[in-house]
Homo-oligomer: A and B are copies of this chain.
Amino acid sequence: MRASPPLTPSVLAALDLFTGLTAAALTDVGARARLRHIPKDTRIFAQGDAIGRCHALIDGSVRISQTAGEGAEVVMRFIGAREMFGSVALFTDGRAPAEAVALTDCVEISWSKADLIDLIALYPGIGLNLVKIIGARLGEAQDRVRELSTQRVGRRLANALLRLAGEDGRSAGEARIEFPLTRKDVAELAGTTLHTASRILSAWEKAGLVSSDRQRVTILRPSGIKRIADDIGD
């Protein structure tokens, strides 16, 4: 466990929830924050837990996934550095709709609900950021609904990879996905089984589109993946 919390204003300013705030505001935000180091594979909260805090990642990655009885699981999203998570439930029914698991060692920072509400009242920009973030996630979720409704597995998988890489597929170079991904994770993100995901990824690997090495996936030819995502039938 490292010793000194790297809790400078510039670290806070980089968090998407606090962009655009003044230095004074950031100091206030920092004063109310709780910082924690979280080891790999820790479950940060479980589905159904009462949620009392708003979380953000300074470093590391977290998987947010939902279980629906029968062991059927769906990955809702991956959280990377500078992103917040676990905050929507704060404003709705207070129950986590999904579980959060640390995929790597993480540095996490969090605020109590009361402090967050105080902060929003003091610095309205935070509230606006919150609406923007939740709005963007709603948009993403709706994109996924559309994809699941209208596209076949290959396309969905291509779209999922591009989203993970933060790529639009236009760039020429390789794009490495920063999260450790099992085939099961990939499958649950694209809405398929790990078998189908494995088959398709194998085929793409043979075609030189991607390469994968022990839970690390790299998109070798983003343009090729983009073609699949856009269903350019060649």
List A residues at the B interface (Cβ < 8 Å).
Answer: 66, 68, 72, 74, 76, 88-89, 91-92, 97-98, 120-121, 124, 127-128, 130-132, 134-139, 141-142, 144-146, 148-150, 188, 191-192
Contact = CB atoms under 8 A, between A and B. Distances in A.
Contact of A92 (B92, B139, B150, B192): B139
A110 to B, nearest CB: 18
A233 to B, nearest CB: 11
A144 B146 contact: no
A209 to B, nearest CB: 22
Given A74-B150, A124-B121, A142-B76, A91 B191 contact: no
- The 7 A-B pairs with the shortest beta carbon distances in the complex, nearest first, are A149-B191, A141-B141, A148-B148, A72-B150, A88-B135, A74-B146, A138-B138
Question: Copies of this chain, how many?
Answer: 2
B150 A68 contact: yes
Given A124-B121, A131-B131, A138-B137, A145 B191 contact: yes
Contacts of A76: 142, 145
Given A91-B131, A92-B135, A130-B131, 7 more contacts: A66-B142, A88-B139, A91-B128, A91-B132, A92-B132, A92-B136, A131-B131
